[in-house]
């Protein structure tokens, strides 16, 4: 190799090392700040995190990567933390159904029928007695996502072709949102929309959580489950309580070129 080529290669190698080192230092610094802040919040050093309103957090959803969902101790600790904070209704989701298979056989108590009816949920509802406080937990998996919407569509089509058509004799197939919600409820895949969804995993996405239950949901990525912190959960709830949400007053549904005020 010629001397200029060697100099160029050394320069590029040095630049790559500097950039890589800077990224690692920034990552370590961010994680250190995260751990320190979470610890200070957990011991109650910041007054604003000691008391915050949970009235808006009526339904919480947790998405966990299936590989991390096998950590039973972490999940149980997480549920106890949520119960201690005051969360009353939780939906746990992983795409492979690890949580459902792991916790459903060992849950104490039977299905909470009253809670299930009041929240309009499917079949995977159990009453959890955790940290001396009752908390209702729903378990769903990937089968409640794409498979659920396919079953609901099949139910609607079979109902239509079996004679339940428009009373005015209209043969055009028209399914409303209420029809789909009723079909999802009938097959056990219906449920309330979470106010807040916390994602624990490597990807910054909901990992297949049923999309029809996320229309107005606030989504926060919390990092790996193994590094979860009590203070980080408290901070997430505090930040959610400060969010301004203007839905519920006026909503617009765009159909073709028409704007319909709901």
210 CB-near residues (< 8 Å, 6+ apart): 140, 144, 145, 148, 149, 189, 191
> Could you tell me the maximum CA-CA distance found in the chain, to the nearest angstrom?
86
Average pLDDT, the chain: 75
Contact 127, 134 (CB under 8 A): yes
pLDDT at res. 257: 37
Per-residue pLDDT of 72-127, as tens digits, reads: 899 999 999 998 888 989 999 988 888 888 876 555 443 443 433 334 444 344 54
Given a cut of 90, is residue 16 above it in pLDDT?
Answer: yes
pLDDT reported for residue 164: 53
Say what percent of the chain tops pLDDT 90.
Answer: 17
**Is pLDDT at 151 greater than 60 in this prediction?**
yes
Which residue matches tokens 């995260």? 34
Nearest CA-CA partner of 213 in 55, 93, 50, 87: 93
The reported pLDDT for the residue numbered 23 is 93
Q: What local confidence, expressed as pLDDT, does residue 118 receive?
A: 37
pLDDT one-digit tens code per residue, 129-143: 455 457 888 888 877
Looking at per-residue confidence, does 253 or 184 come out higher?
A: 184
How far is Cα 126 from Cα 122, in angstroms, rounded to an integer?
11
Task: Kindly tell me if the per-residue pLDDT of 250 is higher than 90.
Answer: no
Nearest to 155 by CA among 120, 190, 124: 190
Give burial (CB, 10 Å; 0-12/13-18/19+) of 214: middle
Q: Give pLDDT, residue 169.
A: 52
Give pLDDT, residue 177: 65
pLDDT (tens digit per residue) in 29-45: 988 888 888 888 888 88
């Amino acid at each position: 190799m010629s001397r200029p080529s060697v100099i160029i290669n050394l320069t590029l190698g040095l630049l790559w090392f500097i950039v890589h080192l800077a990224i690692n230092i920034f990552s370590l610094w961010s994680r250190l700040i995260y751990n320190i802040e979470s610890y200070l919040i957990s011991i109650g050093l910041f007054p604003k995190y000691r008391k915050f309103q949970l009235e808006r957090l009526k339904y919480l959803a947790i998405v966990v990567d299936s590989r991390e969902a096998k950590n039973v101790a972490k999940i149980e600790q997480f549920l106890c933390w949520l119960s201690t904070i005051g969360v009353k209704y939780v939906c746990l989701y992983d795409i492979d159904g690890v949580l459902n298979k792991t916790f459903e056989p060992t849950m104490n108590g039977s299905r909470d029928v009253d809670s299930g009816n009041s929240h309009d949920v499917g079949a995977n509802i159990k009453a959890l007695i955790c940290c001396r406080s009752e908390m209702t937990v729903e378990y769903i998996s990937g089968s409640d996502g794409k498979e659920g919407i396919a079953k609901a569509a099949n139910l609607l089509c079979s109902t239509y072709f079996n004679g339940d058509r428009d009373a005015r004799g209209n043969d055009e197939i028209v399914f409303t949102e209420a029809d789909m919600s009723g079909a999802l409820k009938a097959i056990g895949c219906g449920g309330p929309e979470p106010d807040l969804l916390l994602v624990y995993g490597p990807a910054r996405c909901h990992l297949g959580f049923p999309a029809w239950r996320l229309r107005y949901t606030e989504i926060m990525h919390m990092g790996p489950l193994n590094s979860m912190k009590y203070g980080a959960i408290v901070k997430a709830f505090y930040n959610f309580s400060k969010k301004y949400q203007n839905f519920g007053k006026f909503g617009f549904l765009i159909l073709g070129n028409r704007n319909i005020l709901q």
